[in-house]
Chain A
């Protein structure tokens, strides 16, 4: 997914002189071709995220479209004030590409796990947050980032994530995708939780439960219309995210549902990382399993919500 997004930045830069790339201290050879062909628009600025975010804002105020890539925690936690004031307040066209959203860097520990990135960015006025589910969806997203108005955070998955997105459903920033229809329950996803949600829906179908899947690749602006339309049709709604249950997708769903005026009662549950820093190593998969962010976890919660 990261390679797909950075390759897309290179392609965008080739066709549009406004495109500038800034990395912090990325792996050797990253965007080698970009650097060779367009050195004046390629910057590797060192481990200085506070500076490079504001520098990017300066470039963007002058008309550039700036893509920054580094590890998600360093782009969200360390330079939060720079993101808030220089990207959000100035409404600059800077795209933050955060590597390793969620618990991708499980073996590296909590310093590298971006588990509250969506929550803290959701509070920033004018910020757009996108979390594609696979490399193919990333391919559809990237061309749309060029002329998008204002700052954007692009949350990257691990890479090699199973491709479940479907081109025929299309892709538009800010528009949720109904990936599967269902009449008993609705599972709402973002990023790579679409994969376990689809597996859960398939398992539930085996036992006669019809679960729909609504993929919120864009968490902000939040497609409340799509959520309400689908939620109205079912008694049970489940959100599943690779993120703390505080402030992220689940919270956005909860806020929307709580303010809605449904004709029938609803049950709702959030799956995500509880209010803790993950205390184990292992792999992304083992940490997701630890917190039930899995197909099995989703099946169990849907059953509980429905009492079936």
Chain B
């Protein structure tokens, strides 16, 4: 199989109707934000389907023994999307649900970015962008040195891919033919200030990853079946790391949040906003 630079047309997004599980996870994110009073709302919403597929269907882990040596490693390089991760880790039993209600509180262990050593199931502290993929390369190389069978997964973001270190890591992973490494790239085409097209255009994004030596597929990042199928096919190539470009909608699931950069991060979420969010997530969309 040879890499080509002809990027297939990205799959359409927002055609997928969110199922009850996806809505329920988002409602749990909103309840967490309600307690913490703040959070990266839009950034968490666009990750829900990727994370639920990873934790429901792909990753091998033991929530009661988070450091189980044979576990698959997962790094949320897009650390500011952590609310979606926290909700899933709590649901899977890595820590009690009550921890969610202490989000960003003085006595809580869950902060605005995930921290290694504090949160069971978190492999590396992220938040500053451009670190997670290099951690993942280190984990994947270690598995190779130790001839261990576990795999390594990471979620990076498009805005994050402004960082040169992401591409240093991409080169390195390809050089080492890390087929045990799979990266899901959240491509919602929005970053804090504006669209990625305006701030720092990444297109042709999938072709860039291909050119850097990765085996690449593109999926609708909210299509659970498509994500499941893509992850089941990974690694796509026996000698290459896998990148799955996930076309997503920032804030997916709530019309007034979708692609609305005012919802990238909220320092203050009002009671009314929480009510509106929950109402929007109750419905049959």
Chain A positions near chain B (C-beta within 8 angstroms): 20, 40-41, 43, 45-46, 48, 50-64, 81-82, 85-86, 89-90
B144 within 8 A of A: yes
A12 nearest CB across to chain B (Å): 16
Question: DSSP class of A's interface residues: helix, strand, loop or mixed?
Answer: helix
Asked whether B139 lies within 8 Å of A54 as measured between CB atoms, the reply is no
Q: Is the CB of A82 within 8 A of B171?
A: no
A59-B141, A64-B142, A81-B128 are known contacts. Are A86 and B168 too (CB-CB below 8 A)?
Answer: no
Chain B residues engaging chain A, CB cutoff 8 angstroms: 116-117, 123-125, 128, 130-131, 134-139, 141-146, 164-165, 168-169, 171-172
Q: Which residues of A contact B130 (CB under 8 A)?
A: 50
Query: What is the distance, in angstroms, from A282's C-beta to the closest C-beta of chain B?
Result: 34
B271 to chain A, nearest CB (A): 35
11 contacts between A and B (CB under 8 A): A20-B145, A40-B145, A48-B171, A59-B138, A62-B138, A62-B139, A62-B142, A85-B125, A89-B125, A90-B117, A90-B125
From A40, A53, A58, A81, B124 is in contact (CB under 8 Å) with A58
Q: Chain B contacts of A85 at CB under 8 A?
A: 125, 128, 131
CA distance A53 to B128 in the complex (A): 15
Chain A residues, CB < 8 A from B145:
20, 40-41, 59, 64
Whole-angstrom CA separation of A69 from B177 in the bound complex: 23
Give A60 to B141 CA distance when docked, in angstroms.
11
Q: Which of A20, A50, A64, A85 has the most CB of B within 10 A?
A: A50
* Docked CA distance A58–B131 (Å): 10
Q: Considering the complex, give the chain A residue whose CB is closest to the CB of B141.
A: A59
Q: How far is A108 from B241 in the complex, measured between Cα atoms in Å?
A: 39
Bound Cα distance A53, B130 (Å): 12
Whether A55 contacts B124 by the Cβ 8 Å rule is no
Which B residue sits closest to A58, measured CB to CB? B138
Please indicate which of the listed interface residues B134, B136, B164, B171 has the most CB atoms of chain A within 10 Å of its own CB.
B134
Q: Is the CB of B131 within 8 A of A82?
A: yes
Q: How far is the CA of A56 from the CA of B172 in the complex (A)?
A: 12
CB-CB under 8 A from B131, the residues of chain A are 54, 82, 85-86
The 6 closest A-B pairs by CB, nearest first: A58-B138, A54-B134, A51-B168, A48-B168, A62-B142, A50-B165
Taking A46-B171, A48-B172, A90-B116 as contacts, is the C-beta distance between A55 and B137 under 8 angstroms? Answer: yes
The docked-state distance in angstroms from the alpha carbon of A214 to that of B211 is 56
Distance from A58 Cβ to chain B, minimum over Cβ atoms (Å): 2
**Complex CA distance for A194 and B142, rounded to whole angstroms:** 40
Secondary structure at chain B's binding surface: helix, strand, loop or mixed? helix
Known contacts A54-B138, A56-B138, A59-B142; can you find 15 more A-B pairs with CB under 8 A? A43-B141, A46-B171, A50-B165, A51-B134, A51-B172, A52-B168, A55-B134, A57-B124, A58-B124, A59-B141, A61-B116, A61-B124, A61-B135, A62-B143, A64-B142
Q: Chain A: which residue is nearest B131 at the CB level?
A: A54
Q: In the complex, what's the smallest C-beta–C-beta distance from A260 to chain B, in angstroms?
A: 35
Report Cα–Cα, A51/B164, bound state, in Å: 9
Q: Cα distance A24–B223 when bound, in Å?
A: 41
In the complex, chain B residues whose CB is within 8 Å of the CB of A63:
142
Q: Which of B117, B144, B165 is within 8 Å of A54, CB to CB?
A: B165
Q: Compute how far the CA of A306 lies from the CA of B172 in the bound complex, rounded to whole angstroms.
A: 58
List chain B residues, Cβ under 8 A from A56: 138
Closest to B139 in A: A58
Query: Nearest chain B CB to A85's CB is how many angstroms away?
Result: 6
> Which residues of chain B are near A89, meaning CB under 8 Å?
125
Chain B residue nearest in CB terms to A90 = B116
Please report the C-alpha to C-alpha distance between residue A179 and residue B128 in the assembled complex, in whole angstroms.
44
Min Cβ gap B208→A in Å is 16
- The complex places the Cα of A64 from the Cα of B138 at a distance, in Å, of 10
From A20, A55, A85, A90, name the one whose CB has the most chain B CB atoms within 10 angstroms: A55
Kindly provide the distance from the CB of B136 to the nearest chain A CB, expressed in whole angstroms.
7
In the complex, chain B residues whose CB is within 8 Å of the CB of A46: 168, 171-172
Q: Bound state CA distance, A137 and B100, in angstroms?
A: 52
Minimum CB–CB distance from B158 to chain A (whole Å) comes to 19
Chain B residues within 8 Å of A50, by CB: 130, 134, 164-165, 168
B125:A55 contact, CB within 8 angstroms: no
The distance in angstroms between the C-alpha atoms of A59 and B165, with both chains bound, is 17
Q: Report Cα–Cα, A46/B168, bound state, in Å.
A: 9
- B94, chain A: closest CB distance, angstroms: 17
Q: What B residues does A64 contact at CB under 8 A?
A: 142, 145
Question: Contact: B172 with A45, CB < 8 Å?
Answer: yes
In the bound complex, residues from chain A placing their C-beta under 8 Å from that of B146 are 62
Structural contact, B139 and A61, CB atoms closer than 8 A? yes
A41: B residues at CB distance < 8 A: 145
Task: Indicate if the CB atoms of A61 and B123 lie closer than 8 Å.
Answer: yes
Q: A51 near B165 (CB under 8 angstroms)?
A: yes
Q: Bound state CA distance, A50 and B165, in angstroms?
A: 6
Q: Point out the residues of chain B lying under 8 angstroms from A51, CB to CB.
A: 134, 137, 165, 168-169, 172
Residue of B nearest to A55 (CB): B138
Contact A58 B128 (CB under 8 A): no
